[in-house]
Amino acid sequence: MSNSRVRIIKDPEERKQEIIEAALHLFSQKGYEHTTIQDIAKYLNISQGLCYRYFKSKAEIFTATAEFYAQQILIQIRQPFPENMKAIDKFNVTIKRLFQYIIKHGEFEANSEVSALRADRLDSISRQIIEVIIPIIKQGNEEKIFNCHDIERTTKIFIFGLVHTFHEEMPKRNIKNYIKSFLEYLKTNLVLILNIKEPELLGEGWENIL
């Protein structure tokens, strides 16, 4: 019996997605610089040539992987809320969903070392978070839980700054401890920025994130 690799024919989109998910795993484990296309091909038991059929370079694979990662974050934070949920509870749930996903993929976050591609990804994620947060703040203003002026501009400035700062300072080790300290910082500043009337309600359940 031959020991040569048996080629399995798959739908192009299915194969492309397999490469993306394999790359996400390997970039998380080894970092961008130390992961090769050969590593990705070996992980999937396919030829390097097949990888190049779908992606021209490792940088292109990283871009697709970052976009997939961002899409998954969006899926997490856009899950529907229970009917009649208060804005403060929606805010807390959104923060929990976001950081729980980040912790699950902390190695990818910490090892994403390509600055130009990384900046594009962070901007994309920021815009998606903003789309979710603005309606919650508007609801909070209506419920008189928040008192935020110029909601859209305030949200954009805070989220873009927050996301970039979070990733800029992220260590390669002790990620959970870093996230714990960052959540404390986040809570303090959100109370001030949103002028939250009942600050003790912000952060309820955040301790379950870690």
Pairwise CA distance, residues 159 & 153, whole Å: 10
With respect to residue 74, please indicate whether it lies within any of the assigned structural domains. Answer: yes
Structural domain harbouring 152: 63-208
CATH of the domain at 42: 1.10.10.60
List, for residues 63-109, the tens digit of each pLDDT value. Answer: 888 888 888 888 988 999 999 999 999 999 999 998 888 887 777 77
Instruction: Give pTM, 2 decimals.
Output: 0.78
* Per-residue CA distances from 148 to 13, 82, 137, 143, 155 (Å): 44, 24, 8, 12, 9
In this structure, is residue 5 part of a structural domain?
Answer: no
> Do 28 and 76 fall into the same domain?
no
Q: Indicate which CATH number applies to the domain containing 196.
A: 1.10.357.10
Q: pLDDT by residue (tens digit) across 98-149?
A: 888 888 777 777 766 555 556 777 888 888 899 999 999 999 999 999 999 9
1 falls within a domain: no
Q: Return d(Cα 143, Cα 79) in angstroms, integer.
A: 22
